[in-house]
Structure 1
Amino acid sequence: MVEMLDRGIGSFARIPPLPPFTTPEELVADALPLLDPPSRITVTEAAVRHMRVNLGGRWSSYDPDITPYMIEPQDVTQSRRFKGVILVGPSQCGKTQLLISVSAHAIMCAPGPVQLIHMTKTDADAWVEEKLDPAIANSPALSDRLGKGRDDSTFSRKRFQGVRMTIGYPVANQLSSRSQRLVLLTDYDHMPQRLGPKDAPEGSPFSMAIMRIRTFMSRGCVVAESTPAFPVDGSKPKPSPLLEPHRFPEVKEGIIPLYNEGTRGRWYWECPGCADLFEPTFDRLDYDRELDPGDAGEKAVMVCPHCGLVIEHREKVELNRRAAAGHGGWLHEGRSVDENGRRRLVRINDPELRNVSYASYALNGVVAAFASWAELVERHEIARRSFEMSGDDKGLSQSFYTDLGQPYLRPGEDDDDVLTVEILRNRAVQIDKRIAPDWARFVVTCVDVQGNRFEVTVMAFGAEGERIIIDRFAIHQPPDAAPRARGDDGKYRAVDPGRYAEDAEALTELADQVYPVDGQNWGLKPVAVVIDFNGPKGWSDNAEKFWRKRARAGKGGRFYLSIGRGGFQQRDRVWHEAPERASNGKRARGIKLLNMAVDRLKDSVAAALEREATRINAQHTPCWMDVEHMAELIAEQRGDKGWVKKPGMQRNETFDHSVQALAMAEHLGMNRVNWEAPPAWCLSGLLNPNAVEIARPNDADSAREVPAVPAKPRAISFLRRR
């Protein structure tokens, strides 16, 4: 640095030193490569000549045999026939390397502006620092072309000789008012799918990227790669396996619709035994589902669908290389059908290829170079078994998206026999109302708060999560001690929970209600009463007062206030913690809420209602239940962002109660119980602290503890017993 001095004011400026002297001859020599015509070589050939890649921590020359399935997609980016190249695949299969290879070809062989769009600014900066900059620094040919000026290499821009590469993120101004020859979109499904103002969106990132390459006409190309991240729309018809063998089921947004609009290429192997071609998919892996996930994965093999030949995992590398050499490889849907009515499959350069604007590719996870079949099977089996146990499909959907690179359809959503009231009635268990089954271990009472009543459901749980509703009623009348509980005519007014805090006292005796166990001389009191914290205006304040009063009486552990949290991406399914602020705006002290990830729990309840062949985590419906309450169990349907009421359905309290009961059971630790040696609260018999000896078995009216003092008149009006 050079320091400028002035006698009057002293040191006043520090400027960098001048660059070294450069002769005109050196400037001309540096610019001469820009006058060369574009090199007539493919992206793969350019990558082999000029690019180095990181393999296991060691930088070496690019080897196309490591990911041979990337050769065609990256070479097609230079085709003048297609405006875009779409690649759907699992994580860690080499998709990101595709973008660097295409960029390297533009830098070394076909100069032109390049733009890369990442998910967010933070992710774009991380990609530059962790992937792009090391690739440039370790590839001498690329590094020599990079400008040496201060602003030639930043997080948002790279200036090479004749090439400007910009790195951005998906906002409207990044994809507006610019002309680009190449636009590269990475992790497309994790971008916002609508850019611009919410009230007037400008379009999707892909559609806006297509507008940016118009100036370059047939030389322009948009490349989009991603793992899928959006579920299948189960309401849409399935594609025909004969006429559209490579088409994915309908997905509303993301990269799958783009793939379906393109040539629909899939990767094929040639069987070493019969020489017939087949697509290697996860469904064609053969393993024993009864084994532990790790053992099942170690023994997984591929089976040829034509001759039944068993293919070991160690043969995958050679089969991929043979496929790239012409013994299989990428096959796309053609225009015509054969004599059997099947769509013909053709190569990308075949005249019979469908006349579309995009070359699209879908790679199954079993083909990926960096994933073993043992790992895929182990993770998939763990996720599948978790779903079957809990009904929570978060892990299973992730297995499809990131491990297999396929769109996900929740099991059961494509079944023809959608759950109906008639099906529930036909499956109903024969048991009397207010009687717990002989397998019951504990009981949970759930309360939903409405403007003029309390809706109550009682659920009995057995071992392994088996459960059944044993009582369902509404509390319409306030207790006698409530303000103006009775009018001048002696009649009760309706419950008004938001206005009168005293009305909540009608819930007090729910914790002491005893439910006889079928055929036994004992019954069960609820292990907990779960009350909805949300409700009519004013109820949250009154609910907090009610709970604090129970806590002062030493019964705070029997009553819980629950609150629902929407969305499928909640951190946990259930968590019990104090709110950041109480209902009056002050900091909450001494009170905790049972937080419920309601959409994930509703997945579990819906799955439990479908379980007929197993008792594990099954929710049964009793024969005495009203049709209206059965309808409430199926009043909602699963959407992309959460569960919503079906058109025309108004009531869903029983479904919400089932969520509350499951949340309470999971909070107590039901999923962690060793049922061969269970804790006291879920024992069978009088050793259970909530078990009460009764005088007459199966008599719900006599099933209550003898009170120490005369009991007050009951304030609960039960629904008519069926």
Structure 2
Amino acid sequence: MSDSFISPEEVLFADPRSLIARAIESYRPAEEINVADYAAKHRILDNRGGGFVGRWSHDEAPYLVGPMEALTEQQYLTTAVVGPARSGKTTIGQNWLLQSVDVNPADFLVYAQTDDVIESYVKREIAPMIDTHPSMKEKLGTRPVDNSLKFKRFRSMWVEFLAAAYNNLINKSAPRIIMTEIDAYPANLGDAYALASIRRETFGQESMVLAESHPDAALGSDPSRWTNGIMKLYRDSDRRIWWWPCPHCNGFSSPNPTASVPMTLHWNADAPLDEIRESAGLLCPHCGTLIEDKWRRVMNRDGIWVGQGQDISQDGDVTGELIASTTAGFWITGLMSPFIIGGMGSLAYDMAKAQRDFETTGDDKDLRAVTVKRWGLPYQPPRAAGSLDSQAIASRAEPGLRLGFVPEGVRFLTAAVDVQANRFEFMVRGWGVDGESYIIDYQKVTADPATSQKDWDELLMSLEQAKYPLADGSNRGMKILAVGYDSGGQDGVTLQAYGAWRRARKRRSARRMGRFDGRDGWTILPLKGASSLNAPALVVTYPDTQRKDRSAGARGEIPVGFFNPNRFKDDASTQLQVADGGAWRVHFPAALLANEPPHPFFEGLVAEQRRPDGRWEKITPSARNEPLDLMVMTNVLAFLFGVSRMPWSSPPVWAAPWDENSYVVSSVELLVEGLAKVTQVARSLGNEKTTEMPALATTARQSRQERLRQLVKRLPG
């Protein structure tokens, strides 16, 4: 025998039970578990040198659960996630990779904007994740070709990491694709998502694309301008946004500015920057409380994703079904992220500083970066102040339009009331296809708004009962769809305004018409302009100021429309500059002109100018701006009822053509209602001061008999 002979006693044999167990294990079906649940059980975070270290917890960023769950839901082919930097959105893809390698294998393509970015991502994120998780490390191939910088072969699947170049997008195929920061891909690619999506189509319903990014490519806040990048995907998705409860009143609102009831970050725009950082707080739209940064984690833990087709009550009850879509869309904002350095105070600081720098330099580079990458919002470039000239607008007044009559094309009416110390001023505006509008009526009414219930009731009742004659000579009239009025100002006005609404509700004139984009649409609505430049366009909420109890479950009964006056003055300025007929053109009857220039009504339309920071202010302290304010408030009401999205070919009955319009009344109906009104006037009116009634005008000092004769005379037919 040679010296190399090995005796049987020296041979080490494998444990047969271990061999059998491993063989059986290979035949067992993979654990059925979605990405979110898998991450909660198995993901370890090892952000040494700065960041969280330890087992994954959904409590840190609960809003990531929804996108992770969508990745394995069969009805979806794409998951689109909008979000700022440091919001955790890239961990969604990492957790998906981890879950796939361990229990749900399938090949992956992972794209980033450049080779340098993809190499850095693999080194800083993917390699440490593999080392930290035995479920990945043990399945990684041992040959050099199986574990290169841009290619990883695991047991039963592979992952390739690529720059978003044209050849890489069209020459590769895999059932699962991750596209990180898609809005940063080279512009010459065109629609990068479309190119990549084709490469997974042969895998059918078993495929999934995860796309995530800051919203860099969006052209503003209007969904019609979300034509590129991540916001295009989000636009075509089920559009979910995050809702959370106020820690003080439990009322649900959203940190997303597009929500019907948004919770906004509030700060004093004129304060020093350091003070802004220290004092900024979330403003609850329900109870008006300022919420400190420490509460965000608790609010997130009770948060809910709500998408299109669904509605959420103030108590957090979600009703309705998500719209059918093959794309699950999620929008994370900076206010949601617990990973923002410095918290929401730093968000306020950065935004205020960028706005001030822009006002000084005119360069919006920093403002864009803060909006997109810190706040996670599409950037809307500040609008240039348009050059509005009162004489130019007055020259467009039309002799063919009669004040007090509804011209052809008007589908519905909105009315607004501005409150002054000794009077009301009101405007009635008619709306037609594509937002084309007409001034129907404009009047000043002597009154005492701060103390007189009677003056409030007479004004609102006259607007509630008004029927403006149609210009076609048919003796028909159109009623006003909605009346809004200023509920702020001098002492006493707010209490009077709220009391007037309660009485209108009692006589059933203030009615809820339904929900429009998640907002309650009321026929009579107190309005207040928000002071913050960053306030949402419009929120309808119920902050009854007479309610002493602010505890959870206590709700005000009075709706108030809080609107962003700067946003709507931008819109009014744009509309007033439209000189040709058609979309958003404003038509003025010649009766609004004075006998000779200057024309006070038209001077009032241009009494304010836009500052570079986007805030509007009077040109001179003494300028009368009531016509502009009335234009704004009539626009707010039309916006509430969806004028910009109105399906004019199949509108609701109150916006239908005249022959089908529920707010158009016949001559017989006018006569019956008019006679009833005469009887009411005969019983109740004396010789006191009264308002001017829009379609049935009275004067302040007429005798009872003369007033009745005038009322009867004005009845159509």
TM-score by length of 2: 0.49
The structure carrying a bigger helix percent of its residues is 2
